[in-house]
Structure formats: C-alpha cells, structure tokens
Amino acid sequence: MSERIESVLQEKRSFSSPEAFKAKARLNDKMAYNRLYRQSLDEPDTFWGNVANELHWFEPWDKVREWHEPFVKWFIGGKTNLAYNCLDRHLNSWRRNKAAIIWEGEPGDQRVLTYQDLHREVSKFANVLKGKDIGQGDRVAIYMPMIPEAAIAMLACARIGATHSVVFGGFSAAALADRINDATAKAVITADGGFRRGSVFPLKPAVDEALEQCETVESVFVVKRGNNDVAMQAGRDHWYHELMDEVPTDCPAEPLDAEHPLFILYTSGSTGKPKGVLHSTGGYQTYTYLTSKYIFDMRDEDVFWCTADVGWITGHSYIVYGPLLNGATQVMYEGVPNYPEPDRFWQLVEKYRVSTFYTAPTAIRAFIKWGDAWPKCCDLSSLRLLGTVGEPINPEAWIWYQQVIGNGNCPIVDTWWQTETGGIMITTLPGVHEAKPGSAGLPFFGVEPAIVDVDGNEQAANDGGYLVIKRPWPSMLRTVYGDDDRYRAQYWSEIPHVYFAGDGARRDEDGYFWIMGRVDDVVNVSGHRLGTMEVESALVSHEAVAEAAVVGRPDEIKGQAIVAFVTLEEGRLGNEDLRKALLQHVSKEIGAIAKPEEIRFADALPKTRSGKIMRRLLRNIAAGEEASGDISTLEDKSVIEQLMQSG
C-alpha cells in the first residue's frame, strides 16, 4: 500500500428526504440521530443491550462485549436462536397470518408464505436435517435457486444450530467443491435446477460433479423446481418433498450460545483463494435487526424487496434475517430483471405494491441503458424508499434512480458495507439526513469509521485514504473459518489496531464518506493515485455512455496509464469523434490527469454473476496479457474475447 489516494470527484448536490416521508419516518431529526449515535459510542453496553433485548433470549447474557483484538464476543453467556426470533416470536401476535414471503418464479408462478407457513416449513425441514443426524457443530452447504426453500434451508439450519454455508447458484462445480471442502460440510441442500432467462439451469449435476472431490458430505437434499432430469444416488441423495412428508411439524428452536457460529460465507480475497467469513448468532441478529428497522424504516404495512440473491451477504442480511426479525413482508423473485422484457422488476413493483426497493448500481445502470420507457409503463407510485448497495453509485445513475424510479418522492439510501461487516455500516438515515449522490453518507449506530494513511494517521477532511473501523461492532466477522492467521493478516495488520476494510475513501467537511472503491482498484498516474470510480463517474455522466470501467495499465513514463472500457447507450456509435469527445469530457469533469490514455468501446463488460465488474480481467486485457486467474464466476465468457479484439 502506498501513501495517499487523491480524491477528485466533486459532487455538490444534496437532497433532503421528501416532507411526506419525513413526517412519518421512525427517526426524523438530526438531534435524535446524534443523541443515539453518541450513546452508541459512549455507552455501547447500554445501547446494544437495549437493542438486543427487543429480541428473544432463552437466557440473558452476563456481559455485553469482550474485546481482545482482533477477536470479539458479544452477549457472552446469553442463549438465543435466530430462527426463533425470525419466526416463533411473531406467532403470538396478529403477524401470525401476515405474509412473510411473497415469491414469484421467473415463469410467473407465485407463492405466498405467511409467518405461520414459514414456521411450519422451517420446523419440518429442521426435523428432516435432524433425521439425518445433522445438528450443532455441523456445516451444511446450500446451493439453491432463488426459491423460498433457500430461506427455509437457512432458517432450518439456524433453528438446530447447524452452520450454513450458502454458495451462490451461479458458481461452478469446482468453486462449490472448494467451498464444501474448506468448510468440511456434512450435507448439501440443493435443487434439481432453477429458472433463469427463460430456461432451466441445472444445479444438481454440478453438485454431483463437485461431490466427486468431496469426502465429508453424507446427505444431499434436493428440492424439485426445474423438473430437469437428475441422477439420485441411493443412500446419499433425497428428494426434499418426500422427506418433508414424513416428519412432524413440531421442532422446538434450540437455545444456542450467542457466539454460536451461524454461517460461513465465502468472499474473494486479493490472493485468489476465497475466504470463509464466519458470522455468529447474537451480535449478527441484533445488528441486522436494528439496521433493517432504521435504514429501511421498516414498517408492518411495507412491502420490502431486496433484489439480491441469497447467495450473497445482502441476501442473508436483507432478504432472510433482517426483514424477518422485523416481521416484515417481502418480495422474493427467482429470475433476471429483463425476462421476458426489461420491465419485469417494475411489473413486480406494480403487482405487489412494493414500497421499499433495494438494488445494486450495476442493475440501475442496466435499467438506464434499456431506456426510461420500461419503468414509465408501470405504476411505481407505491414506492416510498429506495436503496443501493455493492459498489459506489455514479451521481448520474443516482439522479436517474431518484427521478425515474422514485418520481422524486423517495429518499435514497446508499448503503456501504461488506460480507465481513454482516450489516450496513455507512449510510444516510431516511427522514434524517440529506443524501449526496455518490456518497454513502454517515456511520450507523455503534460504527466508528475513519480515513487514515498507511500508518493509521487520520486524514484531513476531503483527503483520500484508507477506510478503517476503529472499534468492533456486533455483526463483525469473527474470523476467517479455520484460519485465524489469515483473519488477523487480512483485516487487522496492514494498519495498526483498526479493522481495515480494503476500500479507499474520503470524508468531506460534513462528515460524509465517499467510497472510492477497493484499494486495488486505484490507478497511480504520474504519482497521483486516482480512484478508478471517479474516472468512471465522469465517463458515465456523458450522455452517450451507459457504463464504464477504468483500470491501470503499466506505463513507462506515468507509472500507470488509464484505460477505459466503455459501453454506449442504445443507438450510439463508438467512433473516433466520440472518443475525442469523451477525453475532453473527462478533462473537463476531473482534469487532464484523469484523461484515459485509451478508450475501448464494447458491447458489455465482464461481470461476476453478482454484477461486479471484474477489473482484474480488464487489467489483463488492458496490458495485452491473457486473462489470468479464476474466471469461473464470470457471467458471460464471450465478453472477454470481444474486449481483447477491441484493442
């Protein structure tokens, strides 16, 4: 890591929450936020103790927090159960018959599960797992399409104390095998297949292939969804629906230690081998509960829709656990946003009267590219709050989201967090804070972030640096599964005595955080380290540009030269004139220092199935090298070929 990251993006607009939203918001003044924020830092035990007590504990804790850097424990001695808090807790109230999950399959089929229904299915499946000798101390891999059984499987594990490891259904057999082996999983829960872009993508065959290399798996549970042909290995493989017919509906939730390992979720590290981020029970439930409640202003009458896949942390925290802890009603959708047409999401918003919509900037940029006509044909008037997560959002895309989707009526929460943080860490609170397009905002309760240099010295306002968190929070990862050394090295060593998030950022004069992307997504041009996101934002603010990705290419004179990969709006042509216009535009927006050395036009950018641009691949292509490393998570491999030829 070298010294400084220069920040050049200058975005001055800011937007208050609309009055109508403010009037009803759970929190609606800055004084209240300031008071709670101060309390969360000055008296963390009282603050978090009070929050945790809104949930059910079989036995109270003796101590709220124990911190021996870099290992933390929360609610020591307490006994609780996350599935109990998501389900049983609501059964004694009118919520018993409230919709918990409104699900729609890609072909258009629909299912609604009330809290009572979900409780019954989870209890039954927990009994199925117990019947195969799965319980506390075991790991279970979940490899599923976006169907209610994915949530049921997770909750059933949580109910009996088995640690789940959800592996995104888009990963290859090899990636699945690595993760099963790293976690030494005893069982796999999967489906025959799921629907995506109009056809069935098989999952069970990938499990079969993976298991040729895995020795620890004793049972495979298969949900019937795609109706594709699958092989069933006698003794090992079981149809979910058959076993569900044979078990009782009653399965009491196991009182579990607050620090009981709830789940492992693998995330890519800079060194290639995925890291098994380990989360535990009591702190995670407390934090996802509170963030959902305040950041999404979650109410009983809301219909909440987070468009992530359960295979990512966003799906864990804001599809399954956070909303259910709050007794919310939520939409879950199986397929892609542009099947059968690019208005599918908006059709769903209209049909189910979605009030809170949470998605990713990459999706928003795709919507922009497909054209305003699609959302404009649907009635989106039920929306009252919008959110984004996953990467910095370009101010232009932010404004589009606010205007075209929100019709100017909805606050937008840009939420910064990570697989490792378990829940949202930096955001504006709707009804309280002004939002600045492109800035995630301010710290959530209990979060103490800072911008520092490599030695840990805090930077002045607007000076770029490394984003760190100065104290542990309840849903902090506990370790890298099976590898405490890697945990320490990755998060607690580069900069002394703080959690190092791996992102570059700056904090402005109002205390707002502006994330500039991963520190390895930084280019160094003539000694100036520039956040690639800022150059991308400048490009995207040109009317011809749909999406841009910027990487550094080694350059003898400048150290690194900027190479921009650009996709264009429908009907625009990538010719020499446009190239010149874009260079001029970037010069104008940021300065000549940020002017790309090279602009390559392309039909698409290489992305992971979760929508993140694979800049590592673009760096290879920009440098004229073969694409290196693991490309098993790439959504569309033909994109690479095309980009190589575009140079």
- Binding stretches for ligand WTA (CB under 6 A): 267, 312-314, 389-392, 414-419, 440, 501-503, 515, 517-518
Q: Give the span between the Cα atoms of 59 and 51, in whole angstroms.
A: 16
Q: Measured from the CB atom, is 105 or 517 closer to ligand WTA?
A: 517
Could you say which DSSP state residue 556 is in?
Answer: T
Nearer to ligand WTA by Cβ, of 306 and 617: the residue is 306
Contact predicate 615/564, CB 8 Å: no
Nearer to ligand WTA, 10 or 97 (CB): 10
Cβ neighbour number for residue 319 with a 10 Å cutoff? 27
Enter the tokens of residue 336: 């892609």
Nearer to ligand WTA, 222 or 363 (CB): 363
Tell me the closest approach of the beta carbon of residue 228 to ligand WTA, in angstroms. Answer: 29
Residue with the shortest CB distance to ligand WTA:
419
Tokens, residue 166: 């959800």
Q: Is 497 exposed, middle or buried (0-12, 13-18, 19+ CB in 10 A)?
A: exposed
Smallest distance, Å, CB 440 to ligand WTA? 5
| Minimum separation from the CB atom of position 624 to ligand WTA (A) | 27
DSSP string over 478-539:
-EETT-HHHHHHHHSTTTTTSEEEEEEEEE-TTS-EEEEEETTSEEEETTEEEEHHHHHHHH
Alpha-carbon distance of 267 to 276, in angstroms, equals 7
Closer of 61 and 358 to ligand WTA (Cβ): 358
Host H or E run for residue 422: none
Tokens of 441: 């905002």
Which lies closer to ligand WTA via its Cβ, residue 70 or residue 517? 517
Identify which of residues 286 and 314 has a Cβ nearer to ligand WTA in the complex: 314
Q: Which is nearer to ligand WTA, 390 or 411 (CB)?
A: 390
Helix (H) / strand (E) containing 180: helix 173-183
Q: Per the structure block, which two tokens stand in for 104?
A: 């729609």
Distances (CA, A) of 316 to 151, 364, 395, 540: 9, 21, 28, 31
* Beta carbon nearer to ligand WTA, 314 or 329: 314
Cβ at position 505, least distance to ligand WTA in Å:
8
504 neighbors 467 (Cβ within 8 angstroms): yes
For the CB of residue 427, give the shortest distance to ligand WTA in the complex, in Å: 8
Using CA atoms in the order 157, 159, 160, 162, what is the torsion angle rounded to 10 degrees?
30
How many residues make up the chain in this entry? 647
Residue with tokens 């535009």: 585
The distance of closest approach from Cβ of residue 313 to ligand WTA in the complex, given in angstroms and rounded to an integer, is 5
Please say which residue, 75 or 416, places its beta carbon nearer to ligand WTA: 416
Nearer to ligand WTA, 223 or 389 (CB): 389
Amino acid in position 283: G
Find the shortest distance in angstroms from Cβ 592 to ligand WTA.
Answer: 26
Structure tokens at 9: 């993006």
Minimum separation from the CB atom of position 175 to ligand WTA (A): 15
Q: In 584-636, where do the E strands start and end?
A: 598-601
Identify whether the C-beta of residue 463 lies closer than 8 Å to the C-beta of residue 506.
Answer: yes
CB of 518 to ligand WTA, least distance (A): 5
To the nearest whole angstrom, how small is the minimum distance from the Cβ of residue 308 to ligand WTA?
8
Determine contact, residues 577/645, Cβ cutoff 8 Å. Answer: no
CA–CA distance, 458 with 625 (Å, rounded to integer) = 38
Smallest distance, ligand WTA to C-beta of residue 388, A:
6
